[in-house]
Amino acid sequence: MPRRYWLMKCEPAAYTIDDLKRDGTTSWEGVRNYQARNFMRDDMQVGDGVLFYASNAEPSGVVGLAEIARPGYPDSFAWKKGHKYFDPETDKDAPTWYMVDIRFVERFADVVPLETLKKTKGLEKMLVNQKGSRLSVQPVTRGEYDIVVRLGRETGKRKN
C-alpha cells in the first residue's frame, strides 16, 4: 500500500513536539470527530508521514515530523469512567472511537506558521488553509507534505 500523509493538530498545553521527542512514541487518543476518527481507523498505516501541527499556539503551525507507528485501534479512554475522553455511549464490542500511535521523526528549528502555509505556492488546496477547517486529523498530499518539510528545514538553515 502506498504511503499516505497527514497533518495532526495538538495544542501545546496538551502535548508538544518536544514531548514526542522525549517519549519517542505516543498514542493519539481523544479524537471525537467522526471524520477524523475514520481517517485514523480506516486509512492510517504504519510508516505514513505526519506533519505535527501546534494549534492555538503563537504562532500556530507545523513544528516537526512524526510517522504512524501503530494503525488505528479502539480508544480505551472512551471506556474509563471519570476520564476526560470517557464516552458512555461507546461499546467495547463495537467501539466508536479509535486512536493511533505516532513516532517522533524530526523537530523543525522553528515553526512553519499558518500564515506561511497560506502564502506558499502549492499549498493553496491544503485543508488547514481552508476557511473554517478545524479538523484535527486531516490528509495532505505527497506534494503538500514535501513542500512543508522543505519549508521547515529551510527555516532551520536560515537561523543557523
- pTM score, whole prediction: 0.92
Where do we find the cell 501546534? Answer: 54
159 confidence band (pLDDT: 50, 70, 90): low
Q: Apex CA 45: angle with CA 48 and CA 120, to 5°?
A: 30
105 confidence band (pLDDT: 50, 70, 90): very high
What pLDDT is recorded for position 62? 98
Which residues, at least 6 apart from 123, have a Cβ–Cβ distance to it below 8 Å? 117, 129, 144, 147, 148
Q: Apex CA 101: angle with CA 84 and CA 99, to 5°?
A: 45
What pLDDT is recorded for position 60? 96
* Digit-coded pLDDT (tens) for 116-150: 999 999 999 999 999 888 889 999 999 999 999 99
Domain ranges of the chain: 5-159
3-state secondary structure the chain: CCCCEEEEEECCCCCCHHHHHHHCEEEECCCCCHHHHHHHHHHCCCCCEEEEEECCCCCCEEEEEEEEEEEEEECHHHHCCCCCCCCCCCECCECCCEEEEEEEEEEEEEEEEHHHHHHCCCCCCCHHHCCCCCCCEEEECHHHHHHHHHHHHHHHHHHC
What pLDDT is recorded for position 89? 84
What pLDDT is recorded for position 160? 41
Assigned CATH topology for domain 5-159: ph1033 like fold (3.10.590)
Which residues, at least 6 apart from 15, have a Cβ–Cβ distance to it below 8 Å? 26
Q: How many CB atoms lie within 10 A of CB 65?
A: 23
* Digit-coded pLDDT (tens) for 9-65: 999 999 999 999 999 999 998 889 999 999 999 999 999 999 999 999 999 999 999
